[in-house]
């Protein structure tokens, strides 16, 4: 009986440790992913806005939508995304965004990570 309790205790401790490690890893991974995805999407949006004869980005609103579409294609993990376009200038090639991802750890706790990127052309 005593051994059984010790085993159960060890299992519980191992689970808690695993969840903690997973959580930390999850946060770092997501931060990295969001950072990369936002950078790539901003860069792609600014670059597209400056292509000659392009039709995709013909207003600041379309620039914002384009950014959102590109970011969506770069995000693989689950979670909600909030995009705030702080500034956009499709003519000169500027987009300044704050992207916030809200997700849940394996233990059910909610967390948020935030990235700000301002990309300019030229």
Partner 1 sequence: MQDKIKYMLLFAILAICFKGEIVDAYTGKGTADNPYVVSSESDIAKVFELDKKESQWTYIAVDDVIAFTKTHVVDFGKYRIYAIGNNQTIRRSKKMTATVNSESNPKFCLKVRDGAAVVFGYSAGSNYKLVIDGVKGEFRDQRECNGWMHVESYSEIVIDTNCIVKDAMNTVVDDESAPIRVSGTLTVNGEIKNCNGINGGAIKTKGGSVYINATANIHDCESQTEGGAIFSETGSLLRISGGTIRDCESVEEGGAICSVYSRLEILSGNIIGNQAGTTGGGVFSGKQDVLIIGARNKTGPNINKNFAHGSGGGVRCNGGYGGVSGGLSNFYSGNICENSTATHGGGISCGEESRLSKSQINIEGMNISNNYAYSSGGGIWMDSTAKGILHDYIGISNTTIANNISQSYGGGILVNSSVVLNNVNIKSNVSKASGGGMFINQSGRVKISNGVVEGNTGTNLGSGIYLKGKLEIENDAVINSNNKVFLEGNTYIDVVGKLNAKSGYVACIQVAARTNGRKVVRANYVGTSGEKELYYNASAEDEYFNDNLEKRYKVESLGNNQCLRPTEKVEGIEAKWIIISQKYKIEYKGNADGVKNVPDASVKFWNENIKISTQEPSRPGYMIAEKHWNTKNNGSGVVYKPGSLYAENKDITLYAIWEIIELESLKIMAADRFYVVNQKITLAEAEILKYVKVEDEPQTGYPYKLRIVSIRNSKGVILTNGVKNIVSEKYMNTRKVEHYKVVLYTEDAIGKRFAKKTMNVYIMDNPNNEANIRFVSKEYFNTVSPSSKWFRQLKKELKESLNKDDKNFIYEIDLSEINIKKVNKLLKNDRYKFTSQVRNYIKEHLKGGQ
What residues make contact with partner 1 under the rule CB under 8 A? 39, 42-43, 46-47, 50, 56, 60-62, 64-66, 68-69, 72-73, 75, 78-89, 92-94, 96, 98, 100, 116-122
Distance CA 28, CA 45 (A): 25
* For partner 1, the closer CB: 18 or 84: 84
To the nearest 10 degrees (0 to 180), the angle between helices 60-74 and 2-49 is 140
Cβ proximity of 79 and 102 under 8 Å: yes
Q: Please, what is the minimum distance in Å from the beta carbon of residue 86 to partner 1?
A: 5
How far from chain centre, in Å, is Cα 51? 26
Cβ proximity of 60 and 89 under 8 Å: yes
Q: Please, what is the minimum distance in Å from the beta carbon of residue 25 to partner 1?
A: 20
Q: Please, what is the minimum distance in Å from the beta carbon of residue 22 to partner 1?
A: 19
Q: Please, what is the minimum distance in Å from the beta carbon of residue 9 to partner 1?
A: 36
* For partner 1, the closer CB: 17 or 29: 29
DSSP secondary-structure letter at 57?
Answer: -
* For partner 1, the closer CB: 17 or 91: 91
Cβ proximity of 34 and 101 under 8 Å: yes
* For partner 1, the closer CB: 25 or 61: 61
Identify the helix (H) or strand (E) that includes residue 76: none
């Amino acid at each position: 009986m005593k051994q059984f309790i010790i085993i159960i205790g060890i299992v519980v401790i191992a689970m808690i440790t695993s969840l903690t490690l997973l959580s930390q890893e999850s946060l770092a991974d997501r931060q990295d992913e969001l950072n990369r995805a936002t950078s790539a999407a901003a860069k792609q949006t600014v670059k597209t806005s400056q292509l000659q004869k392009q039709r995709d980005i013909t207003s600041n609103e379309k620039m914002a939508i384009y950014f959102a579409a590109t970011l969506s294609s770069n995000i693989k993990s689950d979670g909600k995304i909030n995009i705030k376009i702080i500034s956009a200038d499709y003519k000169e090639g500027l987009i300044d965004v704050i992207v916030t991802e809200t997700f849940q750890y394996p233990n059910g706790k909610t967390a948020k990570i935030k990235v700000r990127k301002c990309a300019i052309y030229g």
